[in-house]
């Protein structure tokens, strides 16, 4: 079985198993937390394409995610746009923003890309937080154009409350599952395509790739823009799922949490980001009652994974599979 067929089979099995989770779990909390897992996993799967496959040390994914969320919320709040239209519009706006950012930063290398992209994210945060001039005056009080520190709320939903009543969160769950499945399929298609081979060549040996005619700027701009669609769409769905969008989506802590998922799961692999997202969310949930020690526990977990498993959990699983395969091969030879 080829690697691509194996990944497609795993994706199908994952989606089929996830279909039945709301039927198995009778707790609303577990279903809504799984929906958040779908959102964060979608972001890190696409971030892995940029960082792990494309070799672009970009920290702009959180900003792109936030752009998708803010555009969706603003369209619903100011124009009354249906969320079915606002969400794709937010994703397109995220792609446009990422292309502009990519043109500006992809001529740089390594840490300079990281510095520029994190600066852009923080500039957007500062602009939103310091936006205090009234744009509208609803009954709730002065509303700045970008929402200010209050953010946006009551801008619409996908209509599941009217269809499913108190079980509306199950509708959101399946939308999140569809979003993650599509993002994984897109990631598989990119990684196992000739384009993915070009990305890995640019990551591992840019001089040799350039000598073979691979245009670094063009290819990396492609992956920067393509991955932004699902990142922006996940931000749009986050806005719809929570019903609230505020400057907290730009937080540095949020960025580190998502980046840690890729590192723990395994950089540059198909399933590493998904596994890392699941492990970190379960660990975060397990440490929920620890209060201030929660962040310390998460930090120790990250350090332990980096030191003991430098290739992440997927690298550990691959090493274990090779060790179990060797005795079987030896017995077959004898």
Q: Does 245 lie in the same domain as 272?
A: no
- pLDDT band of residue 330 (cuts 50, 70, 90) is low
Looking at residue 229, its pLDDT comes to 95
pLDDT for res 329: 54
Residue 13: inside a domain: no
Percent of the chain residues topping a pLDDT of 90: 37
Q: Which two tokens stand for residue 248?
A: 């907290």
Residues 148, 53 within the same domain: yes
> Cβ distance 237 to 179 under 8 Å?
yes
Same domain, 68 and 132: yes
> Same structural domain for residues 260 and 233?
no
CA angle 122, 124, 126 (to 5 degrees): 70
User: Is 331 in the same domain as 219?
Assistant: no
In a domain, 141, yes or no: yes
Q: Which of 228, 250, 272 is the last residue of a domain?
A: 250
183 and 264 both lie in a single domain: no
Question: What is the reported pLDDT for 109?
Answer: 78
Domain residues for the domain of 144 are 22-250
Answer yes or no: do 239 and 287 share one domain: no
Q: Are residues 237 and 124 in the same domain?
A: yes
Per-residue buried b or exposed e for 246-272, using 16+ beta carbons within 10 Å of the residue's own CB = bbebbeeeebbbbbbbbbbbbbbbbbb
Bridge partner residues of 9 (DSSP): none
63 inside domain: yes
Assess whether pLDDT exceeds 60 at residue 333: no
Residue 32: per-residue pLDDT: 92
Min mean pLDDT across 92-101, 110-119, 179-188, 257-266 is at 110-119
Asked if residue 294 and residue 174 are part of one domain, the reply reads no
15 in any annotated domain: no
Residues 233 and 278 in one domain: no
- 102 pLDDT exceeds 90? no
Boundary residue ending a domain (221, 250, 279): 250
Number of domains forming the structure of the chain: 2
Examine residue 76 and state whether it is found in any structural domain, yes or no: yes
Domain boundary among 211, 231, 250: 250
């Amino acid at each position: 079985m080829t690697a691509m067929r194996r990944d497609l089979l795993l994706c199908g099995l994952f989606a089929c198993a996830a279909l039945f989770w709301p039927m198995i779990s009778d707790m609303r909390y577990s279903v809504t937390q799984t929906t958040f897992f779908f959102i964060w996993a979608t972001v890190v799967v696409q971030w892995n394409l940029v960082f792990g496959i494309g070799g672009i040390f970009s920290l702009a994914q959180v900003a792109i995610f936030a752009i998708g969320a803010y555009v969706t919320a603003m369209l619903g709040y100011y124009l009354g746009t249906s969320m079915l239209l606002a969400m794709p519009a937010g994703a397109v706006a995220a792609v446009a923003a990422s292309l502009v950012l990519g043109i500006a930063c992809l001529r740089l290398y390594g840490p300079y890309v990281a510095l520029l992209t994190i600066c852009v994210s923080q500039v957007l945060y500062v602009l939103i937080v310091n936006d205090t001039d009234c744009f509208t005056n609803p009954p709730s009080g002065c509303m700045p154009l970008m929402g200010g520190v209050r953010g946006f709320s009551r801008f619409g939903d996908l209509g599941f409350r009217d269809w499913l009543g108190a079980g509306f969160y199950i509708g959101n769950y399946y939308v999140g599952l569809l979003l993650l499945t599509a993002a994984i399929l897109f990631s598989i298609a990119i990684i196992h395509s000739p384009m993915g081979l070009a990305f890995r060549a640019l990551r591992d040996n840019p001089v040799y790739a350039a000598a073979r005619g691979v245009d670094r700027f063009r290819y990396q701009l492609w992956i920067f823009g393509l991955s932004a669609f699902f990142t922006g769409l996940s931000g749009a769905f986050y806005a719809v799922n929570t019903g609230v969008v505020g400057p907290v989506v730009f937080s540095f802590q949020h960025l580190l949490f998502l980046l840690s998922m890729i590192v723990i799961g395994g950089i540059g692999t198909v399933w590493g980001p998904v596994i890392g997202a699941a492990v970190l969310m379960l660990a975060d949930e397990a440490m929920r009652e620890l209060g201030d020690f929660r962040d310390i526990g998460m930090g120790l977990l990250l350090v332990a994974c980096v030191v003991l498993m430098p290739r992440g959990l997927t690298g550990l699983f691959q090493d274990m599979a090779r060790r179990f395969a060797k005795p079987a091969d030896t017995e077959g030879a004898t």
